[in-house]
Structure 1
Amino acid sequence: MPHITRAASWIALTTAATLALTSCAGGAAAGGDPADVDPDGEITPREISWLLSRPADGGVITAMEKIAEEYAADHPGFALNLITTPDRPSYIQKYETLAAANKLPELFDTDATPFAQKLAEQGRMLDVDALLEDLGMADDYREAALNYQRFDDGSLYMVPFEFQLEFFWYNSDLFEQAGVEVPATLDDFAPMCEALRAEGITPIALDGADGWPLERYMAYYPFRQAGPEYVQKLKTGEAKFGDAPGRAAAEWLYGLGQSGCFQEGFSATGYADAQAQFTSGRAAVYNIGTWELANLATENLDAGVRDAVDYFTLPTTASAVTADNEYVTPSGIGMAVNARTYDPLVRDFLAFALERYPAAVAESGALSPTVGVETAIPANATPLYARAIEQAGDVGSAIAMPWDTQLDPATNTRLQQELTLLVQGDITPDEFVETMDAALAENVG
């Protein structure tokens, strides 16, 4: 959970940036023509910049650095300047401050947030649907990868560079020891946890310190009961936490806490420690994405648990409106193109990079956001690796969007704080709903 002082400063800075952004809306210098994806003129090499929120040694940056070097070899004077800030709250501060000052670089990372949609409405982001169509790549991308980047009105202003599937990884030996089956519905989680606890097994390993993993659980029940539309309405104030989907989620999470589903002291457990609890065989379930395949589906995994590890996808509910193959399938933070600085050079580089990127990322063993490329399975992979990759071919179009990319920063911070209290049993579902609806009314209005 973010420190309250840090969170407060982040919220204040974001609010100031939003006000400044609103004040410059409609200004002549705010943006170019977002639909002019093939501008006239000479390709004049220069340095262009990409404001990033990705790991510096991650697959996306590694691949794009190599591609940029190849492009520069044929275009002397070109350079791609990567401005990297992996810490997401710090990145958002920088991104929104630069946006308010109209100083965003040629390329910049953003989720499909209300703030980003304001930029798009002001003509400050290039129409990516039009760009991909113009480049002949519109049919190359996975539908789910593009849908993750779209705004609620269906418009597309970000290019995906990743594609992930989020699973519940589980230890079949521990399940057998406790006499439990893979949960068929979300309501099966609480009895599963109780049976595992009775055998002295920690049911679910959770990174509670970072906030977003527990927030994933908050998204599950509403997604199954009401589809992705619930959080879309929630973030605009058209829906409330007290509505049936939100209340059901609160009661379900409270029940998970009362059933001892998460490890003792989960709120102080970080990412690496939570993963270690699962990979060492101390916890039975771990909810994480395919970005962890190298640690969960290769010989890097402890030999003592390697053969017992398997996964299941998001269980359903009795009255589900989404399909079994629809769950959290993110394509990561997207890359937006600054319409004001878009010119023949930027277009030419993007055409070059987007054509070569899929093969480069697939070669690294990761899923590409495009179809038509085959992911390289590492030599030390277990059979689970290939099965997880194949699962990407059977993904529905509805996506359980991570709420931390949907809600405004102030509401999101409060939600993460209240979720911890709810699961710990420090507040009731009624108190949770009342507090969150008050926060929503204050922040969204």
Structure 2
Amino acid sequence: MFQRGRRTARLTAGLSIVAAGALALSACSGSDSSSGSDAKSGPFKYLSFSENTTIQDTLKTLASGQCADANSKAELQVTTQPQASFDQQIQLLAGQGALPSIFPAGNSPSVAKELDRSSSLVDTGAELEALGDSDDILPAAKSTIEKLYDGKDYVLPTELNVEGIWYNKKLFADNGIEAPATWGDLTADAAKLEAAGVQPFAADGKDGWPLTRLIGNYIYRSVGADALQAVADGKAKLTDQAYVDAAQAVADLGAKGYFGKSVGSIDYTTAMNQFLTGKAGMYYMGSWALANFNDPKQNQIGADNIGFVPFPTVSGGKGGSELAANVGVPLALSKKSYDSGSKAWLDCIAKNYGAAALKGSGTITGFKVNGDAGKVPALTKSVQEQIDSSTDTVLWFEALFDPKATTTSQTNAALLVNGKLSAADFMSKIQADLG
């Protein structure tokens, strides 16, 4: 994404957690008879989050390089909008029939879903297939997109962030423990680290979402990969015992002190620092943290000393070994603005964005890496290989929640692990918001 570190994680997580209300789109937001690839091509307009410069920088690099032909047909023009007001701006532009050629799909999946219902978006999956570019989208990215958008495929994955357990290899070796494959392994490893005077987990309890990610993953492993979709569909409730058990399992880690003292006051930067200075043995986080891990100024334990494993399995659980994932800032294309120039750009982005982003900013995307990506750090390469071999993914805990439930979940997470809120009450509060 844009400049890595705390701001990156905030934006990446923001697309997981930021609230967005329903959009009231007028009829003029749909396509008209003058739109389509046969229409006279205009400029290729990209409306960017003001806070995110990486995507626009990558597009500018492509415009003067691999996508020069597309840029000659439709010149890239970049404008920006603060993320906080982005959804409202998209609503306004959609209502005026003036959406830009390409733009972030909003701060939550509900934004793009409303745009799709108003026939405002290009079916990128179908267009990529027609262009012969379907294979340029990684299977794991396609899986994540379809889970986010009700089985539809109308966004482009400018990132593919996978999440799991990062661990300090030296601390593990010094204490005679191995990377956890099961939840039992995880708790046993944590107990040994705690006994050795090492904080088992670094965690951002102030923002809450790194803790709720643990709950979501436990649910996927114990109940099954469709467990939270079942809640969204009204076929199950978070207050069902199996779901409460997941919250309790994470609460138990807190009760044993495995997140350290005062986890509710620990923010993202502090948690990252705890892990990268060797003060914590494990750290649940997404692959966007690779930029921090690969920065020797931040990483005092060394990139070679960091290992990664997917979230562990749960004994007797019905889940598989899917990686938890998100697609960063997904991009959508306007159907009304989709002309021959936009089609040329879509074709070029599919073929070249993956290598350009990896080379320019070290970003792993949901696109296949075709061509020279430059020198890739070993840790990044190992994660990329794991992504390339994945065919299916799961989402984060709040991905399918409404805004109110998301806020309730994350603001109460620290209370859960501090023992100030029971697992049953924690899940009941969220379920009450979901209805």
Cross-structure match for 1:405: 399
Q: RCO greater where, 1 or 2, for CA within 8 Å and sep 6 or more?
A: 2
Structure 1: 4+ residue segments shifted above 6 A: none
Q: 1:252 to 1:97 in 2, by over 3 A?
A: farther
Aligned partner of 1:335 in structure 2 is 331
Matches of 2:345 and 2:166, distance apart in 1: 39
Match of 1:39 among 25, 37, 40: 37
Return the offset for 1:219: 1.0
Q: 1:192 aligns with which of 182, 189, 193?
A: 189
Q: Structure 2 CA distance, aligned partners of 1:363 and 1:172?
A: 27
| Structure 1: distance between partners of 2:269 and 2:95 | 36
Gaps of 5+ in 2: 1-9, 11-17
| Aligned with 1:161 (options 145, 158, 163) | 158
Q: Which amino acid is 1:272 matched to?
A: T
Q: Which one-letter code corresponds to 2:418 in the other structure?
A: Q
Moved more, 141-150 or 403-412: 403-412
Gap regions ≥5 residues in structure 1: 3-9
TM-score after normalising by structure 2 = 0.84
Displacement after TM superposition at 1:286 (Å) = 1.4
1:373 matched to 2:367? The reply is no
2:202–2:272 CA contact under 8 A, matched in 1: yes
**1:53–1:428 Cα change, 3 Å:** farther
User: CA, structure 1 residues 67+204, in 2 after alignment: closer, same or farther (shift >3 Å)?
Assistant: same
Question: 1:181 matched to which residue of 2?
Answer: 178
Return the letter of the residue paired with 1:427: L
Q: For 1:386-401, list aligned pairs within 5 A.
A: 386-397=381-392, 399-401=393-395
Matched letter for residue 132 of structure 1: L
Out of 62, 82, 89, the residue aligned to residue 79 of structure 2 is 82
8 Å CA contact 1:177, 1:199 repeated in 2: no
Instruction: State the partner residue of 2:119.
Output: 123
Match of 2:6 in 1: none
Instruction: Tell me if the contact between 2:163 and 2:285 (Cα under 8 Å) persists in the aligned partners.
Output: yes
Encode CA deviations 1:134-181: one digit per residue, 9 max, x unaligned.
Answer: 221012211111221125542211111222332311112322444433
Q: Distance between the aligned counterparts of 1:215 and 1:53, measured in 2?
A: 28
In structure 2, what residue type is equivalent to 1:180? I
Residue aligned with 2:388, SS: coil
Question: What's the counterpart of residue 313 of structure 1?
Answer: 310
* 179 and 47 in structure 1: CA distance in 2 versus 1, 3 angstrom threshold: closer
- C-alpha contact 1:108 1:336 (8 A) present in aligned 2: yes
Alpha-carbon separation, structure 1, partners of 2:223 and 2:349 = 38
| Equivalent-residue separation in structure 1 for 2:380 and 2:298 (angstroms) | 12
The 8 Å contact of residues 235 and 408 in structure 1, kept in 2 or not, is answered as no
Deviations 1:206-232, CA, capped at 9 Å, x for gaps = 122333222211211111123332222
Alpha-carbon shift at residue 268 of structure 1 (Å): 2.6
Give the superposition deviation at 1:357.
1.8
Match of 1:6 in 2: none
State percent identity of aligned pairs: 27
Q: Could you tell me whether the CA contact under 8 Å between 2:293 and 2:299 is conserved in 1? A: no
1:220 alignment partner, SS class: helix
Give 2:412's aligned residue: 418
Q: CA deviation at 1:410?
A: 1.0
109-118 or 284-293, which deviates more = 109-118
Counterpart code for 1:198: A
Contact kept, 8 Å, 1:219 with 1:400, in 2: the verdict is no
Q: Secondary structure at the match of 1:204?
A: strand
* Letter paired with 1:166: E
Question: TM-score, with normalisation over the residues of structure 1?
Answer: 0.82
Work out the number of aligned pairs and report it. 414
Q: Pairwise CA RMSD of aligned residues?
A: 3.1
